């Protein structure tokens, strides 16, 4: 009897241990695998279901293809109060929002989606002629309530991650951007404290040069320069505020001073 009791107790402890070690996201991890498998099955279809039978005579599979790869990295702040809160948000179907990576205040990086899959992080956005940013980008969310400074551990982890992504996918220097860059009328992240210059110094994005001896041509068009950099200039007020938040690290009006125009001019020259 004692043996049976000990055995049952042992089994109960094993079950409890197993359940505890499955973690709070065991169910969503299982759902992730299920959805990924469904997409894999779609890729294996020959011919694919999206073919138009009335227009296609025959399926002939080419041997020259590979996976699509990301060409942009879009950086966000979470605008939430903790990493756990963000992880929960990104694992609830009803929120309809996600990212590839989440970086916590202690520098911990959570990988939430295969880089080759499309996350829902950019929303309605535009950069240059690209109006479907989600399909060509990796989204990185940094745990930050929207007003605080970013921790050294977060930025250190971010730089390491960006280095890996840049090398893996040959992402151009200019294509490391912020959420507010692609959606200036809707978003302000990452906030005014984000160290864009530090990223640029490491090869992720461009920064402006010393403007002491810069002479801006009289015919220099500031809005067209912002467009060439990549901004959608339909709302000039929002774009100028976004530009000043990022490159001058200040919140304020939508007026470009002579000093601001010099900074814009040095940046514009990098994108010509």
List residues with catalytic annotation: 141
Q: Residue 261 contacts by C-beta under 8 Å, 6 or more apart in sequence?
A: 216, 220, 222
Q: How many CA atoms lie within 13 A of 157 on its CB side?
A: 20
Q: Which residues are registered as beta bridge partners of 76?
A: 141
* Peptide linkage before 47 cis (omega within 30 of 0): yes
**Range list of H helices, the chain:** 2-22, 26-43, 83-89, 152-169, 179-182, 196-201, 222-229, 236-247, 258-271
Report d(CA 151, CA 199) in Å as an integer.
14
Phi-psi region of 262 (alpha: psi -120 to 50; beta: other; left: phi over 0): alpha
Long-range contacts of 21-27 (CB under 8 A, 24+ apart): 25/87, 25/91
Token match 């551990």: residue? 153
Tell me 93's DSSP state: G
């Amino acid at each position: 009897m004692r043996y049976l009791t000990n055995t049952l107790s042992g089994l109960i402890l094993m079950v409890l241990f197993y359940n505890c070690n499955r973690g709070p996201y065991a169910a969503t991890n299982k759902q992730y695998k299920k959805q990924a498998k469904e997409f894999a099955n779609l890729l294996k279809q020959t011919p694919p279901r999206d073919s138009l039978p009335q227009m296609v005579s025959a399926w002939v599979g080419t041997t020259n293809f590979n996976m699509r790869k990301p060409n942009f990295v879009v950086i966000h702040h979470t605008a939430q109060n903790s990493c756990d809160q963000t992880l929960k948000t990104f694992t609830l179907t009803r929120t309809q929002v996600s990212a590839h990576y989440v970086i916590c205040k202690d520098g911990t990086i959570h990988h939430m989606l295969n880089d080759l899959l499309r996350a829902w992080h950019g929303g309605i956005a535009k950069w240059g002629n690209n109006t479907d940013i989600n399909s060509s980008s990796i989204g990185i969310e940094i745990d930050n309530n929207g007003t605080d400074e970013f921790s050294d551990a977060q930025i250190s982890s971010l730089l390491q991650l960006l280095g890996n992504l840049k090398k893996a996918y040959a992402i151009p220097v200019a294509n490391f951007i912020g959420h507010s860059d692609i959606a200036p009328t809707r978003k302000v992240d990452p906030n005014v404290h984000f160290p864009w210059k530090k990223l640029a110094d490491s090869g992720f994005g461009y920064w402006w040069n010393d403007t002491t001896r810069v002479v801006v041509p009289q015919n220099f068009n500031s809005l067209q320069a912002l467009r060439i950099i990549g901004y959608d200039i339909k709302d000039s007020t929002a774009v100028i505020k976004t530009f000043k938040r990022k490159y001058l690290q200040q919140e304020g009006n939508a007026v470009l001073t002579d000093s601001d125009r010099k900074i814009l001019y040095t940046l514009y020259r990098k994108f010509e």
